[in-house]
A and B are shown apart, each in its own frame.
Chain A
Amino acid sequence: MLFKLSLRNARRTIGNYLIYILTVSISIAFIYAISGLVFHPDIQNLSTMSSGLFLLLLGTSCLVVVVIAWLVRYMTKCILERRSKEFGTYMLLGIESRDIARLYRSEQILLGVVSTCLGLAIGTILLEVIKAIVFRFMDLGYTLTIHFSLKALTTTFLSVIAIYFFALIDSGQFFRRQKIVDLMSFDRQNQLLQLKGRRQRLSVFIVSLLFIIVTLFCIEYQFNKYPITVWIVAVSFVILVISIYGVTASLPAMLIKAFLRGNNRYTERVIPVRFFNSKINEISKKLGTLTVIFVVAFSSLMAAMFFSNYYMDQMEELNNYDLMLRWDDMEYVNGVHQIIKQYDIEANASIAVYEDGAGSLNDEFKDTNVVAENRREDTIIGLTDYNALRSLAGYPVVSLPEHGFILQTSSTAKDQLKDLIKKDFYEIFGETMELSTIHSEAMNTVDINFTNYYIVVGDDVLSGKKPVTRVHLWKLGNKNSKSLHEDLLDYAKREGKGTRNVQYWDGSQGIDLAHNFSIRGELMEEGKSMMVVLITSLYYIAMIFCAILATILAISMVGDASKYRYRHDILVKIGYDLSSINNLIRNQILYIFGFPLILGIPVTTSITYSISHIFSGYVSKGFFLKSAGPAAAMFFALYGIYFIVTYVSYKSVVQPKLR
């Protein structure tokens, strides 16, 4: 009997909480898709380093599980409160509270099963989509094969069990604690919340706001200087989160007071503002959490954008050689050359690198992130070598006037460098030379000397000087970086030179090529898996957090629609027309959906702006805005869908009863 009842109730609940069910399903779909990706044979077959990185995604899933558990917990409580009258009736009929708790639990579990099935169905498709995208970036061949991985399924089931365990662990308590009379009138208790201690509220608001501003400045300062003091940043974030709670608890009262000053209360505006007021009172404790969720979601989205933009910028820099070797012993280099020959050499160049210890240009850049902290020298190469490098990269050769020099930098650091250079003349090897031009073509600036710039001077200036090192570059026809790597490793082992010991993520030891070999294909792949994992997990967090934020807002609004329908009835009775009612509903939802943004947007903007400093020097100007635009667009697209769904379902609850 009870099972039948719970089945029927669950079916009815699905209708009422469709948004919630869908969000949980989509979250489960994500969990499944992500674990499906991690355990995919093609990903597992990647080089050990890369496939290990993908395990990070599973770690992200843990975070996601926690947040979804919180959502489910919130929702079960919400449903419990909404249906308290029904449970009170059961108690009145003499059903024991233990049985009701069991009934309720089985109902929720049934909903969980439905969400899981739906989630797995969506997840199977989602996995293919994510696979298609990730594989494309990883240069793996994508084939449409829908296959079920037992590991992924197990992970998903474990996650679901964890979610529902956390959500339902103490639901029995609720029934044991409540009296029947409380259950029967549960829905009225919320209305009687009162505003208390207005003065206290104002002081909380001011103090919290001050704290927020201070911590934001602190974070901004920390990210601007180098290196970052980690503990200060961590403390700042903690204080920031607490202050957000403080502000969100006190802000609504201020806003309402401001809106209804003087005779403004006698305008139409009073209705949405007062409705907002009561709503805020009801969810005041959650507002802080919602704002924090927003900050996390939006920051993750921004960070994902940062990383992808950064990656694209970096890829451009790594464009024009396939193997680089930094080595002075020409005999060894020739041996390498012999091996590389099998890979169809298209072009090669050898560059002598000089250093000027006086570093007059370096003086301009020190204490910025253009140069490494301990580096005080300027790197200099000759014009001939530079032109060889240029033709290798496919750029036209250049010439230099007498006593002129070229500053070669990356496109991303160019603007910053331009700002830092104040003079026209600099001392190079004791000679005063004029800055002729700044070049920012992709010329492996960083690879040549681990710094963002080098200087090109006429060959005559360098004559008689001893190069610090030599850099050899090859451009190949055959880009099989894996076998190139193996061949070079074999050679290095044979010669007993240029190897290093490495420890892999799974604990095993091995021998690999020395750091002064860099194989572009391999570099790109390593960077790529790193980036793909980072970006995917950031998007993953952003999507789930955004969906959860919107779901909580949507559900609490739609639940209100039936609870407070009488308000709309009264308004209609006193002559409020239908289009005004629609406007009112829209405004109500807009206010509630907008509230987390009031504080969230400035805080997120400030934090992400600070974070973007990490990338300065490696990225081009307008990087922040270039990332913020698409991030905002994505966020609001998702948020907007929830907004529209909420609006439509709210209207469909309120309107049929109105004429």
Chain B
Amino acid sequence: MLKKYLLDRACVLLFFMFTNSFAILFLKLVGTPLNILYLLSLIILIVGITFLSIGFIRYHLKYKKLRDIVEGLDRRYLITEILDRPANSEAAFYYDLLKSANRDMVTELAENRAEYLDYREFIEEWIHEMKTPLTTISMLNTDDVEYQKKLKRQFIKLSDLLDMSLYYIRSNTLEKDYQVQKINLAGLVHQTILKEKDRLLVKNIVLNVDCDEDTFVYADEKWIAFILHQIMLNAIQYVDSRGEISISECEDVDTVRLMIRDNGCGISAADLPRVFEKGFTGRNKKRDKASGIGLYLCKKSADKMGIGLDIKSREGEYTEVTICFPKGRFHREVLD
């Protein structure tokens, strides 16, 4: 630090030393007594050192303050809004430069955000618009029962996909339409099962539900329903015919856990850590059709809501997804 400070002023210091030694040499040559020269050098030295050390202290304090501010700052491009305009003209020039550059960037950022919001609004609108003709199509009756069934299945798939894109779009601004409600877990589980009863029936899956009717959690119902639905879909997908899905619930001191377990093909240990990644489909043949969005979305929204989402699995044996709701003090007080 001191070295840097001195190096910055090397030119002036050298000049100062040169002129002073020249002056003293000159005075010596014209016959000034040595004692006077000692006094002169002493004064020059004291004054010089005083100035330098005051300068260094100020430099050091300024440097430290700047560094502290920058380190405590989330968005460092806002640094110019915190700092006063420096008095030093060179520093002020850079400050102005930085400020105008940041202004342009913030302006551009705001414009981009506006554009993006506009675009998103359009897509959302568009998805909603899509649903109407889809429903109409699914209502079309044909005599062919088999065809009707196929059509229905594809419709449900399409509808789920549309829902997922809607949730995907919203997940970025989840904090905005997040509404905490009191949710009955058992009720939610039953709703989800009801939604997927067709598929469960087709695959002849054994379902064990062990949920306490009185368990309540505090979260956004829409989003929890979405997460639960996605997990159920996955479980149904990967479980074999006549396989088993068990949904159980357990309560700790500070958490309520909901576990969805299937005895399907499971996930290999290598893939397990990556299942929440966006677009990850794994090497499992069965997952070929998967988009890799579902679990990613679940994890992302759960994180944003402060809800835990865990997955355990052994290949060929089972997969177990745990949703972990924190109770918090508020939660406990309400329950007591």
Q: B94 at interface (Cβ–Cβ under 8 A)?
A: no
Q: Is the CB of A656 within 8 A of B85?
A: yes
A143 and B43 in contact, given A652-B87, A656-B85 (Cβ under 8 angstroms): no
Taking a contact as CB atoms under 8 Å apart, the answer to whether A142 and B85 are in contact is no
Contact call B84/A129, Cβ cutoff below 8 A: no
The CA-CA distance from A57 to B36 in the complex, in Å, is 24
Say whether A128 faces chain B, with CB atoms less than 8 Å apart: yes
* A372 part of interface (Cβ distance < 8 Å): no
CB distance from A233 to the nearest CB of B (A): 42
A143 to B39, CA, bound (A): 9
Tally of A-B residue pairs with Cβ under 8 A? 23
Q: Which chain A residues (115-173) contact chain B, with CB distance < 8 Å? A: 125, 128-129, 132, 142-144
Q: Is the interface of A mostly helix, strand, loop or mixed?
A: helix
Contact of A129 among B33, B38, B43, B87 (CB under 8 A): B43
Considering the chains assembled together, what is the distance between the CA atoms of A128 and B43 in angstroms?
A: 10
Does B42 touch A at the CB level, under 8 Å?
A: yes
Nearest opposing residue in chain A for B50, CB measure? A121
Contacts A125-B42, A125-B43 given; does A143 touch B35 at CB 8 Å: yes
Complex contact B43–A144 (CB within 8 A): no
Q: When each residue 218-248 of chain A gets 1 if its CB lies under 8 Å from chain B and 0 otherwise, what string results?
A: 0000000000000000000000000000000
Please name the residue on chain B nearest to A143 by beta carbon.
B35
Given contacts A132-B36, A142-B33, A142-B35, contact A656 B84 (CB under 8 A): yes
Q: What separation, in Å, do the CA atoms of A142 and B46 have in the docked complex?
A: 20
Distance (whole angstroms) from the CB of B119 to the closest CB of chain A? 37
Give A569 Cβ to nearest chain B Cβ, in Å: 16
What 0/1 readout, one digit per residue, does chain A (618-659) give for beta carbons within 8 Å of chain B?
Answer: 000000000000000000000000000000000010011000
Question: Are B39 and A144 in touch, CB under 8 angstroms?
Answer: yes
Chain A residues near B43 (CB, 8 Å)? 125, 129
Are the CB atoms of B84 and A144 closer together than 8 Å?
A: no
Minimum distance in angstroms from A260 CB to a CB of chain B: 35
Is A125 in contact with B38, judged by CB distance below 8 angstroms? Answer: no
Q: Which B61-89 residues have C-beta < 8 A from chain A?
A: 84-85, 87
Instruction: Tell me whether A129 and B85 are in contact (CB under 8 A).
Output: no
Given the interface contacts A125-B43, A129-B43, does A144 sit within 8 Å of B87 by beta carbon? no
Partner of A125, one of B36, B46, B85, B87: B46
Residue contact A128 to B87, C-beta cutoff 8 Å = no
CB distance from B188 to the nearest CB of A (A): 57
What residues of A have a CB within 8 angstroms of the CB of B39 in the complex?
128-129, 132, 144
Q: What's the minimum C-beta distance from A143 to chain B, rounded to whole angstroms?
A: 5
Q: Is the CB of A144 within 8 A of B42?
A: yes
CB contacts under 8 Å to A, within B13-48, are 33, 35-36, 38-39, 42-43, 46
Q: Within the assembled complex, what's the spacing in Å between the Cα atoms of A7 and B33?
A: 46
| Residues of chain B within 8 A of A652, CB atoms compared | 87
**Residues in B neighbouring A144, C-beta threshold 8 A:** 35, 38-39, 42
Please report the C-alpha to C-alpha distance between residue A652 and residue B88 in the assembled complex, in whole angstroms.
11
Task: Give the Cβ gap from B290 to chain A, nearest Cβ, in Å.
Answer: 58
Q: Which residues of the other chain, B, contact A129 by a CB distance below 8 angstroms?
A: 39, 43
Give the CA-CA distance A144 to B46 in the complex, in Å: 15
| Residue with the greatest number of chain A CB neighbours at <10 A, chosen from B38, B39, B43, B87 | B39
| Cβ–Cβ < 8 Å partners of A142 in chain B | 33, 35-36
| CA distance in complex: A565, B151 (Å) | 78
Nearest CB of A to B247, in Å: 64
Distance between A529 CB and nearest chain B CB, rounded to angstroms? 21
Q: Which residue of A lies closest to B84 (CB)?
A: A656
**Nearest CB in chain B to that of A128: its residue:** B39
How far does the Cβ of A286 sit from chain B's closest Cβ, in whole Å?
A: 31
Contacts of B35 in A (CB 8 A): 132, 142-144
> Which B residues are in CB contact (< 8 Å) with A655?
87
Bound complex: CA A654 to CA B225 (Å):
61
Instruction: Look across to chain A and name the residue whose beta carbon is closest to the beta carbon of B85.
Output: A656
Minimum Cβ distance to chain A for residue B113 (Å):
28
A125 to B35, CA, bound (A): 14
Residue of B nearest to A652 (CB): B87
- A128–B33 Cα distance when bound, in Å, is 14
Contacts of B84 in A (CB 8 A): 656
Bound: A656/B92 CA distance, A: 11
Neighbouring A residues of B33 by C-beta, 8 Å: 142
A143 CA / B85 CA spacing, docked (Å): 50
Q: How many angstroms between the C-alpha atoms of A144 and B35 in the bound complex?
A: 5
Q: Provide the residues of chain A in CB contact with B85, threshold 8 Å.
A: 656
A122 and chain B: residue at smallest CB distance: B46
Contacts of A125 on B, CB cut-off 8 Å?
Answer: 42-43, 46
Nearest opposing residue in chain B for A648, CB measure: B87
A136 to chain B, nearest CB (A): 8
In angstroms, how far is the closest chain B Cβ from the Cβ of A156? Answer: 20
CB-CB contacts below 8 Å: A41-91 with B: none
- Bound-state CA distance A132–B46 (Å) is 18
Nearest Cβ on chain A to B158's Cβ, whole angstroms: 58
Closest A residue to B38 by CB, please name it: A144
Find the A residue at minimum CB distance from B46. A125
Q: Which of A259-287 contact B (CB under 8 A)?
A: none
**A462, chain B: closest CB distance, angstroms:** 48
CB-CB under 8 A from B36, the residues of chain A are 132, 142
Q: Which residue of B lies closest to A133 (CB)?
A: B36
- Whole-angstrom distance between the alpha carbons of A132 and B87 in the complex? 40
Bound-complex Cα distance A99 to B160 (A): 77
Chain B residues with Cβ below 8 Å from A132 are 35-36, 39
Separation in Å of the A129 CB from the closest CB of chain B?
A: 7
In the complex, chain A residues 377-402 whose Cβ is within 8 Å of any chain B Cβ: none
Bound: A142/B37 CA distance, A: 11
A655 to chain B, nearest CB (A): 8
Of A128, A132, A144, the most chain B CB neighbours within 10 A belong to A144
**Nearest Cβ in chain A — how far from B41, in angstroms?**
10
Q: 23 A-B residue contacts at CB 8 Å?
A: A125-B42, A125-B43, A125-B46, A128-B39, A128-B42, A129-B39, A129-B43, A132-B35, A132-B36, A132-B39, A142-B33, A142-B35, A142-B36, A143-B35, A144-B35, A144-B38, A144-B39, A144-B42, A652-B87, A655-B87, A656-B84, A656-B85, A656-B87
Besides A129-B43, A132-B39, 8 other A-B contacts (C-beta < 8 A): A125-B46, A132-B36, A144-B35, A144-B38, A144-B39, A652-B87, A656-B84, A656-B87
**Could you tell me which B residues sit within 8 Å of A by CB distance?**
33, 35-36, 38-39, 42-43, 46, 84-85, 87
| Closest 6 A/B residue pairs (Cβ) | A144-B38, A144-B35, A144-B39, A143-B35, A656-B84, A128-B39
